[in-house]
Amino acid sequence: MTDISLPLVPLGSDPARAQRPALRMDGVSLSHGQLATAAAEVAGHLSSFADQSRVVAVPALPRVETVVAILGALRAGIPVVPLNTGAGQTEVAHVVADCQPAAVMCAPATELPGPLADVSRVEIDCTTAPSSDPVDHTQSGVVSSGPGPDDPALVVYTSGTTGLPKGVVLSHRALAHDLDALAAAWQLSPEDVLVQALPLFHVHGLVLGILGPLRVGASVRHLGRFDASAVVTEFDRGASVFYGVPTMYHRLADLMDTDPDQAKSLGRARLLISGSAGLPAHDRLRVEAATGTPVLERYGMTETLITCAMTVDGGHAPGTVGPPVSGVSLRLVDDHRRVIQPDDRSTVGEIEVKGPTLFSGYLGRPDATRACFTEDGWFRTGDLATWADGGAVKISGRASVDLIKTGGYRVGAGEVENALLSHPEVAEAAVTAEPDDDLGERIVAWVVPVADRSPSADDLINHVADQLSHHKRPRVVRFITSLPRNALGKVLKNSLTPPAG
């Protein structure tokens, strides 16, 4: 059975590992031994909370105290809500009222938003480095008992694009299984040094980017905020892995276009991973041409963790997100809930998932939880895809905004977006649908041109028609200066509205 202790390295069996770097954030560095000691001390303090069904909130700031607080709570078996304190007051107030935390854990002098003012505060100070002795604190009695496999570990709130954010309850079993499957797919080891600059209130930055490397005994360097030059510099200093979102890869590609030395530095990477949104083909090709290193994509969502991943061993076509990870079952179904077979490479279907990485439910929302499962237990993701070679999956977008039914055809917006992005004068593109009296829906392209370029609408329409089936061409092209995006770089298509009049 998978060991569900998170993310703790068995220091007692490998004393040398206790001295190795584990985490660097905001100018503070901790070894694996120091991190384990600090987390155990927090766990011991939290044991005074009699009701472990209550959650603790942790402001997801890029500081070592954030990670120590989360690890300590996980050891103590108390669920953690990583909070985006940069969200609006209304959203923060909703999350606090929804999860009702027993305490908020943060570094001293941390300024908290108003809705947390009445919550009990537990301060964690890492300015004085703890011991790095490889002590097994569970055996020594600092923590009397750990969590069970199905106990909640994290409550991660959705981004709330279709209503108020919901708390996604993730168990220790789900986290451990997914991280172990990804470690195998990407051949992560204690020798790896991960660089990232992702927000820690989402699965990508926290679970994959912090808990994942620490679980295998690797090292994490979090930059606080993304800067392309700073990322590249880390690979001159021994980094081996980078996790990023498409916007980051776009900026890295721009940097390497202007400075070949930067490409040489990033080319030292063993592993480049992109996620949280589809990576445009032209940016992937730019990065790969400059570095000689393939960019691997993966697919998942908060409720499922990472469902599919391209592997280090390769064999999966670029533009796909790879096959399902070990232990996860995936199927595609059409509008009539009929299963689409893997040898059908053209029919767009909704992704449904089963397996140990699924969430336990929405916090306090059994109705919403039931609504997203089929009668036979498959989770309905709302994401669209087609099958590709070797059992890999090619994402088409969200059913709510990316499936366009035009002239009797089903068209995935992602395919049209990639065609637009292959045009040399297109920097960014998004595709949506609008009602059409004749076609039912017409395809609309929102295009950010390359600087100092002015492509014509007809040129872009013909460009798509030359690459894809004629019915997939945009009927309308709207030029804009930028696309609205969230913190992880996902385009907010609901914000793309036709001009008045």
Task: Give the pLDDT of residue 39.
Answer: 92
Query: Residue 51 — pLDDT band, cuts 50, 70, 90?
Result: low
The two tokens of residue 438 are: 């004749």
Integer Cα distance of 300 and 275 in angstroms:
8
Backbone angles phi, psi at 23, to 5 degrees: -150, 135
Task: Give the pLDDT of residue 441.
Answer: 87
Task: Give the pLDDT of residue 2.
Answer: 47
Angstrom CA distances, 200 to 17, 318, 411, 491, stand at 25, 28, 34, 19
Integer Cα distance of 3 and 147 in angstroms:
11
H helices within 85-241, ranges in order? 89-99, 137-140, 172-186, 203, 212-215, 228-236
Better-predicted residue by pLDDT, 127 or 326: 326
Task: Give the pLDDT of residue 405.
Answer: 81
Taking residue 79's Cβ as centre, other Cβ atoms within 10 Å add up to 25
Integer Cα distance of 240 and 182 in angstroms:
16
CA neighbours closer than 13 Å in the CB half-sphere of residue 466: 9
343-368 in b/e form (b: 16+ CB < 10 A) is eeeeebbbbbbbbbbbbbbbbeeeee
Residue 141 has pLDDT above 50, yes or no: no
The pLDDT tens digits of the residues spanning 251-299 come to 999 999 999 899 999 999 999 999 988 888 888 999 999 999 999 999 9
N- to C-terminal Cα distance for the chain?
62
Does residue 177 contact residue 354 with C-beta atoms inside 8 Å?
no
Query: Residue 403 — pLDDT band, cuts 50, 70, 90?
Result: confident
Integer Cα distance of 213 and 114 in angstroms:
34
Integer Cα distance of 451 and 483 in angstroms:
15
Q: Which domains does the chain possess? A: 22-135 (3.40.50.980), 187-293 (3.40.50.980), 407-495 (3.30.300.30)
Beta bridge mates, 296: 273
Backbone angles phi, psi at 333, to 5 degrees: -130, 150
Task: Give the pLDDT of residue 9.
Answer: 47
Radius of gyration of the CA atoms of the chain, in A: 23
Q: Mean per-residue pLDDT for 35-59?
A: 84
Task: Give the pLDDT of residue 470.
Answer: 84
Q: Mean per-residue pLDDT for 385-414?
A: 85
Does residue 84 contact residue 159 with C-beta atoms inside 8 Å?
no
The pLDDT tens digits of the residues spanning 174-197 come to 999 999 999 999 999 999 999 999
DSSP letters for 174-187 = HHHHHHHHHHHHHT
The pLDDT tens digits of the residues spanning 308-337 come to 999 998 766 888 999 999 999 999 999 889
